[in-house]
């Protein structure tokens, strides 16, 4: 098992397959940004499979495919199929903005992806356009329909809540998710790069109290997936609300994950700089024993916690560079 210095078991890998995206969400990518990684520096499918196989042998059980927008990576279903067959992995999931989901949902489900998180910050078309820079809501909603038809379960809606931007849409999104059987997860903005710092931070603690009263929600003990969300549910259990609060109530003590970017950089923490460059090792002929040792040493670098509140100016890389 991969155990860090603070006794946390690292059993969750978030795997970015591209840093490109067809949207420009204001908290993630700057408008006009062109500094994407060259394709020659992307990990190949063979390299990804090899790294994930070593992680699985070391006790990692969950892998989430992310980006950028992961569905922009060609033949992603092929990679998903290869990963889903690796011994030791028990959960393969995907985070997407949904714009390409209609085309790929069936193939991904057949390849072994079982769960989907879909990013959607409003049900108002003009608000989505403002946030993403694209009139994408119709395609996203159609992608959600395709995901339901393909049999993904559960489907989680990730909504980044921003003061003065979409905070007035939270109740409508909650009602929408109740109606359609989706899990809603509200997320606080994080000060990653200039885009993240410019986003209008909204403390979700008062929002939670309001939603619990309006929709009669109670805190639930069980977790839904391997991520950081804390959950509340309706009394009959038909609806769940997750809260991801890295600022107002951080969850670093139970962090169980690391992130692998498209260029092979393994980040130990979303909010710190500790990392390991895997691509040079892979392309210089390191054997599996050496790779396993490198991963163990990297986990020793994992910090105790981020410093989003104490040092909001610290992190200069954008979210899309790290992987969602």
> CATH no. for residue 259?
3.20.20.70
Q: How far is CA 21 from CA 24, 28, 96, 125, in A?
A: 7, 10, 10, 19
Does residue 2 fall inside a structural domain?
no
Average pLDDT across the chain, whole number: 91
Q: What number is the average pLDDT over the span 11-18?
A: 97
Please write the tens of the pLDDT for every residue from 157-216. 999 999 999 999 999 999 999 999 999 999 998 765 555 445 588 999 999 999 999 999
Edge to edge, the sheet with strand 240-244 lists 217-219, 230-234, 240-244, 183-188, 155-161, 115-119, 91-96, 62-66, 12-16, 257-260, 265-267, 275-277
Does residue 5 fall inside a structural domain?
no
Please write the tens of the pLDDT for every residue from 46-97. 999 999 999 999 999 999 999 999 999 999 999 999 999 999 999 999 999 9
Please write the tens of the pLDDT for every residue from 101-112. 999 999 999 999
Q: State residue 272's pLDDT score.
A: 79
Does residue 7 fall inside a structural domain?
no
Least confident span in 84-98, 120-134, 219-233, 308-322: 308-322
The Cα 10–Cα 256 span in angstroms is 4
Does residue 6 fall inside a structural domain?
no
Confidence of residue 29 (pLDDT cuts 50, 70, 90): confident
Does residue 83 fall inside a structural domain?
yes
Containing structural domain, residue 271: 12-322
The C-alpha torsion from 300 through 304 and 308 to 312, rounded to 10°, is -60
Q: State residue 221's pLDDT score.
A: 72
The distance in angstroms from the start CA to the end CA of the chain is: 24
Does residue 4 fall inside a structural domain?
no
Higher pLDDT, 78 or 221: 78
Q: What number is the average pLDDT over the span 230-250?
A: 90
Does residue 156 fall inside a structural domain?
yes
Q: State residue 318's pLDDT score.
A: 57
Q: How many domains does the chain have?
A: 1
Does residue 123 fall inside a structural domain?
yes
Of all residues in the chain, what percent carry a pLDDT higher than 90? 76
């Amino acid at each position: 098992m991969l155990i860090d210095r603070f006794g946390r078991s690292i059993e969750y890998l978030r795997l970015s397959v591209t840093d490109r995206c067809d949207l420009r969400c204001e908290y993630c990518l700057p408008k006009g940004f062109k500094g994407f990684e060259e394709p020659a520096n992307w990990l190949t499918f063979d390299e990804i499979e090899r790294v994930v196989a070593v992680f699985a042998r070391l006790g990692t059980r969950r892998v989430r495919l992310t980006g950028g927008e992961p569905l922009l990576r060609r033949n992603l279903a092929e990679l998903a199929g290869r990963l889903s067959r690796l011994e030791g992995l028990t959960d393969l999931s995907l985070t997407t903005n949904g714009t390409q989901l209609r085309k790929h949902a069936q193939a991904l489900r057949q390849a072994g992806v079982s769960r989907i998180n879909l990013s959607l910050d409003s049900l108002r078309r003009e608000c989505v356009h403002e946030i993403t820079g694209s009139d994408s809501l119709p395609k996203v909603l159609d992608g959600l329909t395709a995901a339901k038809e393909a049999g993904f379960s559960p489907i989680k809606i990730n909504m980044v809540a921003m003061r003065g931007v979409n905070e007035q849409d939270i109740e409508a999104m909650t009602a929408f998710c109740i109606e359609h059987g989706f899990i809603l997860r509200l997320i606080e903005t994080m000060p990653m790069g200039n885009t993240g710092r410019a986003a209008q931070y909204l403390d979700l603690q008062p929002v939670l109290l309001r939603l619990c009263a309006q929709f009669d929600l109670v805190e639930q003990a069980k977790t839904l997936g391997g991520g950081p969300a804390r959950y509340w549910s309706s009394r009959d259990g038909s609806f769940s609300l997750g809260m991801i609060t890295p600022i107002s109530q951080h969850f670093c003590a139970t962090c169980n994950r690391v992130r692998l970017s498209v260029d092979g950089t393994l980040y130990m923490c979303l909010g710190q700089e500790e990392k390991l460059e895997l691509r040079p090792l892979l392309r210089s002929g390191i054997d599996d024993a050496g790779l396993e040792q490198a991963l163990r040493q990297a986990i020793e670098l994992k910090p105790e916690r981020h410093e989003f509140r104490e040092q909001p100016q610290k992190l200069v890389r954008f979210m899309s560079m790290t992987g969602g």
